[in-house]
Amino acid sequence: MLGPNGYGAVQVSPPQEHVVLPGEGHPWWQDYQPVSYSIDNTRRGSRAEFADMVARCRDAGVRIYVDAVVNHMTGSGSVGSGPGSAGSTYAKYEYPAVPYGDGDFGDCRRDIADGTDPAEVQGCELVALSDLDTGSAHVRGAVADYLNDLIGLGVAGFRVDAVKHVPAADLAAIYARLDEVPGYGGRPYIFQEVLDGGGPESIRPPGYTHLGDVIDERYHDQVGAQIRDGRLDSVLETVRTGMAVESDQAVVFVDNHDSQRSDPSISYQAMGQRHVLAQALTLAQPYGTPKVMSSYRFESTAQGPPSTGTEAGNPAGAITAPTDCSGERWFCEHRDLNAMPTFTNAVGEAPAVERAEDGAARIAFDRGERGFAAFNASGSGWTVTSATGLPDGRYCDVANGTIGADGACDSAGYAVSGGEVTVTVPPNGAVALHVDALCAEG
């Protein structure tokens, strides 16, 4: 029940035709090597299945954002083993199903050597992936056609992959061709992955904020590590002073599909309940647009997702209920957050005001007069009486309760009276109250 519990959108992995690499055990990263822009027969299912998913989510008030791979096509390695997931033949620099040919790729046919030189970063190859000449009209048109095909199905936004490797002017030309999203009106929401590896601003996050939002990986690096280490008392100061761009330009998260593997100590798999706390605090703090991770267990970094898709080669083999969170394979971290995303929506831009603290691991703060939240990174419960700007009333605890389709919350909640509230925060847990989730009278 994503919609009633506050989720506005879901990001899905790349849905275009991709390489299939049985020789490498069907790694998860097949999806990041496009073979064509067909969305039929990929890990996201058939075209009809994908379209049905988008439509059903839209009907439930939840948008779909697609991870758009636009910088490159396939790499070296198992390339010769084709065809792609939808059956298209290809070779590096030749993708007849798009069609792209040799002339649609840049001249620098080697890996990026100097990660601070824009010409290299944008014109050479990222981990040997054939680098599209996004300056050309043909490439821009093909990419825009792909994105518009998705928009036509109701896709409402894009996480644009590897943006640092594409000149801002090329992205501007592609985005300018995008259609309005049917049903919602307006252009798709765009947020861009710009890893900050130094160099001039043109290849750093501020160089792309005029085109859309940007992912601020500093949040994962700094705040993610603070929460992992139980230093909750540093979080608000860090998000006020240490981030890369303005709050309304940033997308933030505790971890994503890359960091889970490159920085595994900050993940549900490593942190357990502390990770639930980390994501709840991310939804409550004031910086950026928060994104929640929901993922699966893996034993090796390349291991692909539990899948009923076109390949049966994943380690666990085919399973009949790919979204079954009760099993051992999917963690479904989002379910542990209950109705916490409604807190983010309810408080909006309201500023954080520190209200209580007990050592480094326990904090409570208001968001203006719209929300109050408390977090406890210790192993025992924390009962605290705190001042709060919330109006008198009895509030649902959205960190521990869910909201049903009828709008009713299933938590007992807490009473605010005379500018004061007493809450008991579970070990490695949270309590969160806001003005849009009051308990029924009684």
Can residue 313 be called a binding residue for ligand LM2 (CB under 6 A)? no
Counting every residue written for the chain, the total comes to: 442
Phi, psi of 242 (to 5 degrees): -110, 10
What is the C-alpha separation between 296 and 305, in angstroms, rounded? 7
Q: Is 64 in the site for ligand LM2 (CB under 6 A)?
A: no
Q: Which partner from the list ligand LM2, Ca ion, none does 2 bind, CB cut-off 5 to 8 Å by kind?
A: none
Q: Which is nearer to ligand LM2, 72 or 334 (CB)?
A: 72
Active site residues: 161, 193
Look at residue 127 and give the partner it binds from Ca ion, ligand LM2, none, a contact being a CB closer than 5 to 8 Å depending on partner kind.
ligand LM2
Give the tokens for residue 21: 């690499």
Q: Which residue's CB is nearer to ligand LM2, number 100 or number 365?
A: 100
Which of the choices ligand LM2, Ca ion, none does residue 75 contact, using the CB cut-off of 5 to 8 A by kind?
ligand LM2
- Contact of residue 128 among ligand LM2, Ca ion, none (CB under 5-8 Å per partner type): ligand LM2
With CB under 6 A as the rule, give the number of residues binding ligand LM2. 15
Identity of the residue, 32 or 298, whose beta carbon is nearer to ligand LM2 in the bound complex: 32
Q: Which is nearer to ligand LM2, 69 or 181 (CB)?
A: 69
CB pairs under 8 A, 24+ apart, for 197-204? Answer: 197/115, 197/116, 197/121, 197/164, 198/115, 198/116, 199/115, 199/116, 199/117, 199/118, 199/121, 200/116, 200/118, 202/118, 202/167, 202/168, 203/116, 203/118, 203/121, 203/122, 203/164, 204/164, 204/244
Helix ranges, 242-288 (H): 259-262, 268-271, 273-284
Task: Please tell me whether residue 325 binds ligand LM2 under the rule CB under 6 A.
Answer: no
Candidate residues 7, 29, 100, 191; the one interacting with ligand LM2 per rule CB under 6 A: 29
Q: Please state the closest distance from residue 312 (CB atom) to Ca ion, in A.
A: 34
Q: Note the residues at the interface with Ca ion (CB under 5 A).
A: 71, 122, 131, 165
Which secondary-structure segment (H or E) carries 150? Answer: helix 137-152
Kindly state the tokens that stand for 358. Answer: 């007990």
- 5, interface contact from Ca ion, ligand LM2, none, CB < 5-8 Å by kind: none
Residue among 40 and 217 whose Cβ is closer to ligand LM2: 217
Residue with smaller CB distance to Ca ion, 171 or 384: 171
Closest approach of ligand LM2 to the CB of residue 127, in Å: 4
Closest CA to 352 of 222, 238, 242: 238
Please identify which residue in the block is written with the tokens 């792909």: 146
Single out the residue of 69, 144, 251, 421 in contact with ligand LM2 (rule: CB under 6 A). Answer: 69
Count of C-beta atoms within a 10 Å radius of residue 306: 23
Contacted entry of ligand LM2, Ca ion, none for residue 131, CB cut-off 5 to 8 Å set by kind: Ca ion
Q: Which of residues 381-410 bind ligand LM2 (CB under 6 A)?
A: none
Interface with ligand LM2 includes 161 (CB under 6 A)? yes
Interface residue with ligand LM2, options 49, 149, 196, 258 (CB under 6 A): 258
Q: Which residue has the tokens 């991310």?
A: 282
Binding partner selected for residue 76 from Ca ion, ligand LM2, none, CB under the kind-specific 5 to 8 Å limit: ligand LM2
Q: Which of 93, 100, 75, 86 is nearest to 18 (CA)?
A: 86
| Residue list 170-209, contact with ligand LM2 (CB under 6 A) | 193
- Of 11, 16, 33, 303, the one binding ligand LM2 by CB under 6 A: 33
Q: CB-hemisphere CA count at 13 Å for 10?
A: 20
Q: Token pair for residue 118?
A: 């824009």
Judging by beta carbons within 10 Å of its beta carbon (0-12, 13-18, 19+), is residue 310 exposed, middle or buried?
A: middle
Using the minimum distance from each CB to ligand LM2, give the nearer residue, 209 or 256: 256
State yes or no: residue 128 binds ligand LM2 (CB under 6 A).
yes
Chain residue whose CB lies nearest ligand LM2: 75
Regarding 264 and contact with ligand LM2 (CB under 6 A), the answer is no
**Could you give the 3-state DSSP secondary structure of residue 428?**
coil
272: Cβ–Cβ under 8 A, 6 or more apart, which residues?
428
Which residues of the chain form contacts with ligand LM2 (CB under 6 A)?
29, 32-33, 69, 75-77, 126-129, 161-162, 193, 258
